[in-house]
Amino acid sequence: MAEKIAFIGLGNMGAPMANNLIEAGYALTVFDLVQEALEDAVAAGAQRADSAAAAAADVDVVISMLPAGRHVEDLYLGSGGLLEAVDQTTLLIDSSTIDAETSRRVASAAGKRGVAMLDAPVSGGVNGAKAGGLTFMVGGVAEHVERARPLFDVMGKVAFHAGAAGAGQVAKMCNNMLLGILMTGTSEAINLAVANGLDPAVVSDIMKNASGGNWALNVYNPYPGVMDNAPASHGYKPGFGVDLMLKDLGLAMDSSLKNGVATPLGSMARSLYAVHSRAGHGGDDFSSIINLLKGCPSD
Ligand code: NAD
Please indicate whether residue 96, judged by its CB atom, sits closer than 6 Å to ligand 1.
Answer: yes
Domain boundary among 164, 191, 225: 164
Q: Looking at the annotation, which residues are catalytic? A: 172
Asked if residue 104 and residue 51 are part of one domain, the reply reads yes
- Mean pLDDT score of the chain, rounded to an integer? 95
Contact 285, 231 (CB under 8 A): yes
Q: Is 15 in the pocket of ligand 1 (CB under 6 A)?
A: no
Same structural domain, 177 and 90: no
Q: Output the residue whose Cα is nearest ligand 1's atom 13.
A: 9
User: Does 263 have pLDDT greater than 50?
Assistant: yes
21-30 pLDDT tens trace = 999 999 999 9
User: pLDDT for 49-104, tens place per residue?
Assistant: 999 999 999 999 999 999 999 999 999 999 888 999 999 999 999 999 999 999 99
Question: What's residue 295's pLDDT?
Answer: 64
Domain count, the chain: 2
Q: Is pLDDT above 60 for 297?
A: no
Q: Do residue 8 and residue 108 come from a single domain?
A: yes
Answer whether residue 276 is part of any domain: yes
Contact 287, 220 (CB under 8 A): yes
Cβ of 9 closer than 6 Å to ligand 1, yes or no, is yes
Does 190 share its domain with 229?
yes
pLDDT on residue 3? 84
pLDDT tens digits, one per residue of 188-205: 999 999 999 999 999 999
Q: Which of 19, 20, 33 maximizes ligand 1 atoms within 8 Å of its Cβ, making it the mutation to test the pocket? A: 33
- 11 and 159 belong to one structural domain: yes
Question: End of a domain among 119, 141, 164?
Answer: 164
Which of 70, 134, 244, 284 to probe ligand 1 with, by most ligand atoms within 8 A of CB? 244
Q: How much is the pLDDT for 127? A: 87
Same domain? For 179 and 232 the reply is yes
Element spanning 64, H or E: strand 61-64
Q: Whose CA is nearest to atom 30 of ligand 1?
A: 96
Domain limits for position 152:
4-164
**What is the structure's pLDDT at 148?**
98
Residues 200 and 144 in one domain: no
CATH of the domain at 92: 3.40.50.720
- Domain end (from 99, 134, 164): 164
Q: Please state at what angle helix 167-195 crosses helix 264-276, rounded to 10 degrees.
A: 70
| Span 216-220, average pLDDT | 95
Atom 31 in ligand 1: which residue has the minimum CA distance?
67
What pTM, to 2 d.p., does this model score? 0.92
Q: Which neighbouring-strand residues pair with 194?
A: none
> Residue 80's pLDDT is what?
81
Which residue has its alpha carbon closest to ligand 1 atom 41?
Answer: 240
Answer for the pair 262, 274: CB distance below 8 angstroms, yes or no.
Answer: no
Q: Does the pLDDT value for residue 224 go beyond 70?
A: yes
Given a cut of 50, whether residue 299 has pLDDT beyond it is no
Answer yes or no: is 299 within a domain.
Answer: no
The answer to whether residues 251 and 185 belong to one domain is yes
> Given this model, what pLDDT does residue 196 score?
97
CATH number of domain containing 219: 1.10.1040.10
pLDDT above 60: residue 207 = yes
Rounded mean pLDDT, 209-227: 97
Please give the single-letter amino acid code of residue 296: C
